Chain A
Amino acid sequence: MARRAGARRAGQQRTPWLILPLAAVAVAYVAVPFVALLQRAPWSDLGGLLGRSIVIDALRLSITTAFAATGLAMLLGIPLAWVLARTRFPGRSLARALVTLPMVLPPVVGGAALLFAFGRRGLLGGPAYDATGFLLPFSIWGVVAANTFVAMPFLVLTVEAGLRAADPRYEDAAATLGASQSMIFRRITVPHAGPSIIAGAVLCWARALGEFGATVTFAGNLQGRTQTMPLAVFLALESDRDAAIALSLVLIALSLAVILPLRDRWLTV
């Protein structure tokens, strides 16, 4: 609440003279490359380029795996965000740093680490393969695993911030009225954190959609099985630039379509 009042006050102040030009440069810096991409786009051939099987396969795979990764990230990430926001335990900062690591590491490092953990001769993947014959790499599950690894931090951090901003007195009140812990979590905590959960899920989905490094390193690259949009773009850049730009446009449009509706306050609750 205090924050919203503060924002209004800031809006009524006169803007310091240097702020606006710098902000404009920031926007331009991000916008110009996209404008350049649009300017190079093969608009007249777009239909034909996007109708190719390689594009349709990659698009379908990217969207499916981004949803699967977001679902998995919510299942595991919301409880984790709650633990980080509401409990105190030794090593909490370390846990948060660890969970944030995939966000800042080069994704290729994450992919290699995943391979050494869940690959056929990996720490966990080896015994699992010997026992069941199940293998994550080179399958759609490998793509989901790589996406989740890289994208989950976006959800966890956003939801944790949302939970911290929510007033814990509602939960206390529910507890004094006899609600069980799990009931409080479902009926009070999650609805209060709702906007941040939506925002986190959207960011997570968009990040998963764009995932490249961890996917190619861990899951490989095969059309229809593991070749997502970013992988198709990367290889097309070397052989067929028009196709690569057309694919990029689809990725940009999809990402904008999900990020644009996010309200300011959902990201800052």
Chain B
Amino acid sequence: MKLRVRRLLVVVCVPVAMFTACGGDDDVASSATAAAPASGSAPAGDITVFAAASLTDAFTELGTAFESENPDASVEFNFGASSALREQILAGAPADVFGSANTSNMDQVVDGGAAGDPKAFVTNLLEIAVPAGNEAGVTGLDDFANPDLLVGLCADEVPCGEFGREALASAGVTPSIDTNEPDVRSLLTKIEAGDLDAGIVYVTDVMAAGDTVEGVEIPADENVVATYPIAALTDAANAEVADAFVVFVLSDEGQEILQSYGFDAP
């Protein structure tokens, strides 16, 4: 129940842009690796990180860990579909760092001159999410062709939708879809609530959802590996903190946090 409420908060907060009000109850294992960097002054100031919706939980914890290591820096997040974030960045939104769920959105940001040198920081796999109990008895991608089931994908326009369709195509399945959700979190909310029988999300989403959702594995030959790139943006108001955040994401400590949420090393 607590999880469901939090999931609802995520869905509610992200579109309304109340980023700081969300996910405040994460029990962060405050790491004791506060070895201050020896090089000159510690990064100071505020940054805003635009990150894919699938990074919501992992980056929230990562941000807290970053802040506890850099007491003078603070990080705010704007989580959403990578494609929506891309548009916002290209339209001049005040962002310092962009973490995308696929390379094409990052490439467009780079092509638009808004970011320099993106680095792959994690990979993610797809998994079928079903409500706890799997009442519909979903066993694989074939079930997405069953018109009697209520199944959802992410919309075409967002990475999880693009990857999900890729997986269905490589499995040779023509799906009978009931909804194309604007981002992966809203798809997951409908699965958690039991309103959908199945949806294709990321492995990390199934893990984050805890007891409310079960995962049905997608075999490796039908699965799609999503590579997540991150970059500090050229117009970052605070380049120093932005760079420090990217370095932290790529560091052992950052990777450890990310992997605890189910992401793989690139």
Q: Using a CB–CB distance below 8 Å, which chain A residues touch chain B?
A: 106, 108-109, 112, 115-116, 119-122, 135, 137-138, 213, 216-217, 220-223, 226-227, 231, 234-239, 241
Contact = CB atoms under 8 A, between A and B. Distances in A.
A221 B12 contact: no
Contacts of A138: 150, 178-179, 195
24 contacts: A108-B11, A108-B12, A109-B12, A112-B189, A115-B190, A119-B193, A119-B195, A120-B194, A121-B194, A137-B190, A137-B195, A138-B178, A138-B179, A217-B189, A220-B178, A220-B190, A221-B181, A222-B178, A226-B179, A234-B182, A235-B155, A238-B86, A238-B158, A241-B87
Contact of B195 (A115, A221, A236): A115
Contacts of A236: 157
Nearest to A237: B87
Contacts, number: 81
A51 to B, nearest CB: 20
Given A138-B178, A222-B180, A236-B157, 19 more contacts: A106-B16, A108-B15, A112-B11, A115-B190, A119-B193, A120-B193, A120-B194, A122-B193, A217-B11, A217-B189, A220-B178, A220-B190, A221-B155, A221-B179, A221-B182, A231-B182, A235-B157, A237-B87, A238-B86
A78 B148 CA distance: 39
Interface string B174-190: 00011111100010011
B84 interface: yes
B157 A238 contact: yes
Interface-central residue, B15, B158, B181, by most chain A CB under 10 Å: B15
B155 A220 contact: no
Contacts of A122: 193
A120 to B, nearest CB: 5
Interface in B140-194: 150, 152, 155-158, 177-182, 186, 189-190, 193-194
A231 to B, nearest CB: 8
A178 to B, nearest CB: 53
A216 B158 CA distance: 15
Nearest to A236: B157
Nearest to B187: A220
Given A220-B179, A221-B179, A222-B177, A238 B83 contact: yes
Interface residues of B, number: 28
A104 B80 CA distance: 23
B34 interface: no
A207 to B, nearest CB: 18
Contact of A238 (B81, B180, B181, B194): B81
A149 to B, nearest CB: 16
Contact of A220 (B16, B81, B181): B181
B28 interface: no
A8 B260 CA distance: 71
Pick the 10 closest A-B CB pairs, nearest first.
Answer: A220-B179, A121-B194, A238-B83, A239-B157, A238-B157, A138-B178, A119-B195, A120-B195, A221-B180, A235-B157
A238 B11 contact: no
B182 A116 contact: no
Contacts of A109: 12
A112 B8 contact: yes
Contacts of A115: 189-190, 193, 195
Contacts of B186: 216-217
Contact of B84 (A135, A220, A231, A238): A238
